[in-house]
Amino acid sequence: MSFAISADFIAAENAKHAAALAEDYDALGRQLARRGIAIEAMTERAMSYAVAVPTWGVGTGGTRFARFPGPGEPRNIHDKLEDCGVINQLTRVTPTVSPHFPWDKVSDYNALRQEAASHELGFDAVNSNTFQDQRGQRLSYKFGSLTHADKATRLQAVEHNLECIEIGRQLGSTALTVWIADGSNFPGQSNLNAAFDRYMESLRIVYDALPKDWFVFLEHKLYEPAFYSTVISDWGSSFMAALELGPRARCLVDLGHHAPNTNIEQIVARLIRAGKLAGFHFNDSKYGDDDLDSGSVDPFRLFLVFNELVDAELRRVEGFSPAYMIDQSHNVTDPIESLMASAVEIQRAYVQASLIDRELLEAAQGGSDVMLGHRLVKQAFITDVSPILAEARRRKGGAIDPLGLYRAAGYRAQKTAERPPAESTSAGIV
């Protein structure tokens, strides 16, 4: 029988922290009350927030040089759902998973949907994969997929995306995420405009096949593996494609897919204004597309992104409904621990951004009071909302201390015993 963390164990562990949490929660409540903020309103906002986890994220990642498998890592989609279920069970902020195909293919998707539900999970956007060749694949994507110079290869990539839509429909998803590695490594290797034209021709077929309530999320990436030119390299290219395709095509923002020092929050603001923000792939970076844990390097940037998102939410911007997902590679940590920590940090940034006095901020901006405007934003960022997050988890049946409880339960050791090492795995990013 597969090991699972019980509700009784969670309750027993929470009891050890209940008094301290109540004391911290009351203290923070009094502090916020002096600023005219009701802590209960913030706790309700924390309880309402959700971010998806990727099925591939619960496996050990890697680099261009090596991958070091972790103990008890998932061998298939069924193991992945178990691990994703634990993340949500303890944090109560990740109720959906984002699958990747063909990595997560099964023969019965209705059964898979029911299996996910047994872990209290639903399905977020489905992801296609034409950035690597699969076993038995007829034509190679070495020189491109949706933009390949060979029409037959492009059509093969299109057919895969159409298959992903059908799978997603059975799983209850309403969006397809498309990221391609297409580009060039040498000047003269590809005609830059012709490649973009072929992308649009291919995506048009996919877009026209979307169910009426579906969206396609276009993901850009500055570089890697195409180091000279990438077909969809920035938000401008993504925006051009989404604008040309139509209203159900939107631009996905991965926090690591930008040039160093790019003002990502301004890009977010522009896409919101244009009605083209699909949502986010959350992670963090120091040098480039590092796929580090969210909030581990630059939590202030994450907060500033949420400043724009909360502003749009509170202004009730028409059509504003971003999809949130974590997209990280866990090379040296337990992936479950990293994903839990990241989910909490993302939720933290959301609640912190909700603390900003918007009326006062607008007045400061209108009066060119630079320091007041900055301090209002910074005051929200430096407020420790940990008691709010912990109380939100407790009320929803989660763990006051997710990481501590996870370790106390011995989940990783149990899964290591249950899951013999596999020669290969469809989890993790290399």
How much is the pTM? 0.96
Cα separation, 40 vs 9, in Å, equals 27
pLDDT at 8: 98
Residue 202: name the closest of 153, 128, 147 by CA: 147
Cα–Cα separations (whole angstroms), residue 348 to 146, 182, 302, 354: 38, 35, 10, 10
Q: Phi and psi at residue 253, in whole multiples of 5°?
A: -110, 115
Please count the other Cβ atoms lying within 10 Å of the Cβ belonging to residue 104. 25
pLDDT at 65: 86
Three-state DSSP string of the chain: CCCCCCHHHHHHHHHHHHHHHHHHHHHHHHHHHCCCCCHHHHHHHHHHCCCEEEHHHHCCCCCCCCCCCCCCCCCCHHHHHHHHHHHHHHHCCCCEEECECCCCCCCCHHHHHHHHHHCCCEECCEECCCCCCCCCCCCCCCCCCCCCCCHHHHHHHHHHHHHHHHHHHHHCCCEEEECCCCEECCCCCCCHHHHHHHHHHHHHHHHHCCCCCCEEEEECCCCCCCCCEECCCCHHHHHHHHHHHCCCEEEEEECCCCCCCCCHHHHHHHHHHHCCEEEEEECECCCCCCCECCCCCCHHHHHHHHHHHHHHHHCCCCCCCCEEEECCCCCCCCHHHHHHHHHHHHHHHHHHHHCCCHHHHHHHHHCCCHHHHHHHHHHHHHCCCHHHHHHHHHHCCCCCCHHHHHHHHCHHHHHHHHCCCCCCCCCCCC
8 Å CB contact between 292 and 339: no
pLDDT at 421: 80
Residue with tokens 């949420």: 306
pLDDT at 79: 98
Cα separation, 171 vs 125, in Å, equals 10
pLDDT at 423: 60
8 Å CB contact between 67 and 139: no
Low-confidence ranges of the chain (pLDDT < 50): none
Cα separation, 419 vs 409, in Å, equals 17
β-strand pairing of 215-219 with 175-178: parallel
pLDDT at 121: 98
pLDDT at 428: 62
